[in-house]
A and B are shown apart, each in its own frame.
Chain A
Amino acid sequence: MNWCEYPGYIVGSEVFQNYGCRMFSGLWITFQLVAISVTIGFALAVGLAVARLYGPRWAQVAINGYTTFFRGTPLLCQLFLVYYGLGQFRLFWQDAGLWWFFREPFYCALLTFTINTAAYQAEILRGAIQSIPRGQFEGALSLGLHRWASLRLVIMPQAMILALRPLGNELIVMIKSSAIASLVTLFDLMGATRLAFARSFDISIYLYAALIYLAVVEVVRRVWDRLELRLTRHMALR
């Protein structure tokens, strides 16, 4: 018996045992989707947030439009627009040599999630940077630090601590939202569960999937709490 069949065997659920392997390989897809999109999204968001606050006027307007657009529309709609909508221009992508990318639901989901989370994270970081008192910047400048150096060495470290909690929430939201990837034929945890239900008509499989998601989210939440405690230990009063 494979390791992935054991959880189902232990709880005595035949469906969970039969589809355990599919569900855990689905969990791996979910993990990849979330880890990659949140990481790239974070890198993008740092740039976006800084450009939104200190960049030229046109960049500020453009980034504002970008965040409003992607935070104001459902992720599901964005995913369909990328997967079905961009797939409509097949000839163009083939000419551009990018069809391999837009053909795959995995890459489409990855692209959509990255763009979406970048918008949310950019807003989180913007809020965090903005709530650092102006005096910090002025103090750094008066010490002779360059604009970029003061941003990197003085503002950003403080802003990151403020942003830590909302960024953790965003990570959890992404783990949960990644379930909609199953609607573009991707077999992530949700997709595998849907398949299991469609074949067995056993509702309990959804409950087991819920337990797996819940466990993942709880682990992430606790790890994040520890991380926050550790990163802010120099600020603890006691």
Chain B
Amino acid sequence: MLEKFALLGFGPGGWGWALLQGASITISIALATLPFGLALGLAIALAKRSEKAWLRRLATIYTTVFRGVPELLTLYIVYFGVQILLQQLWVKLGLAGSFSMPPFVAGMIALGMVLSAFSSEVWMGALNSIQPGQREAAAALGLSKAQAFRLVVFPQLMRVALPGLGNNWMVLLKETSLVSVITLPDIMFITTRANVVTKEPFLFFGAAMAIYLFFSLISAWSIGRLEARANRGYAAFGGATR
């Protein structure tokens, strides 16, 4: 039994380094997707509140599509679809060789679009919680619309949006496991390969579970810390009552 665990170690024949590398890829794709997905989500939330009807409709269609289509399918469509489109473009431009879509970019785009659809709902809820008086007061002070958003609305937004965005991050972290199917060597990809080589699926998928669980627990703890920090000005969320 014990020699089986040596397979997870860093010695000869051990998969320790490979697993660590997979874990770092999982984390990098999640971290790379996060800012892109959140910013796009905020833009979509703002589009949904726009005065232009066509912009609102477009944003609604976008969120309906990406919230309704399985992430795996989105990933395939982005990976193969964009690949084919760019390949055609490549040929049309008369460039030599062929274009191949890097799986990391495909994963980032697909997961980012799904994340933006889900996070836009969170942003919407948070935007609705900001009273109109805040914008009006900012306008009365002579701030432009962009300044009012950046200096007055956004700082208040983060506090309300944080729990929902934290949730989005946890979902994203687990969704990254899907990129293994487009050959990005993340944790799932490495453990699947280790399974093929060693015929020890229970051990390796168990190890993958442990790594994901570790990341989830760390994330939950950090989000808790961030929330406490964002709420430090509010007595009900800390200070007086605790």
Contact = CB atoms under 8 A, between A and B. Distances in A.
B224 interface: no
B200 interface: yes
A157 B27 CA distance: 42
Interface string B193-235: 0010001111001101100110011001000000000000000
A203 B81 contact: yes
Interface stretch (A5-13, A41-49, A208-216, A230-238): A208-216
Nearest to B81: A203
B205 A80 contact: yes
B213 A72 contact: yes
A179 B202 CA distance: 23
Contacts of A177: 70
B64 interface: yes
B206 A214 contact: no
Contacts of A78: 209
Interface residues of B, number: 40
A215 to B, nearest CB: 8
A71 to B, nearest CB: 8
B91 interface: no
A209 B73 contact: yes
Contacts of B104: none
A105 to B, nearest CB: 14
Interface of A: 68-69, 71-78, 80-81, 84-89, 172, 175-180, 182-183, 190, 193-194, 197, 203, 206-207, 209-210, 213-214, 217-218
27 contacts: A68-B213, A68-B217, A72-B213, A73-B213, A74-B174, A74-B177, A76-B178, A76-B180, A77-B177, A80-B192, A81-B201, A81-B202, A84-B195, A85-B201, A85-B202, A87-B201, A88-B199, A88-B200, A88-B201, A176-B69, A179-B73, A183-B72, A194-B76, A206-B76, A206-B77, A206-B80, A217-B67
Interface of B: 64-65, 67-74, 76-77, 80-81, 84, 170, 174-178, 180-181, 188, 191-192, 195, 199-202, 205-206, 208-209, 212-213, 216-217, 220
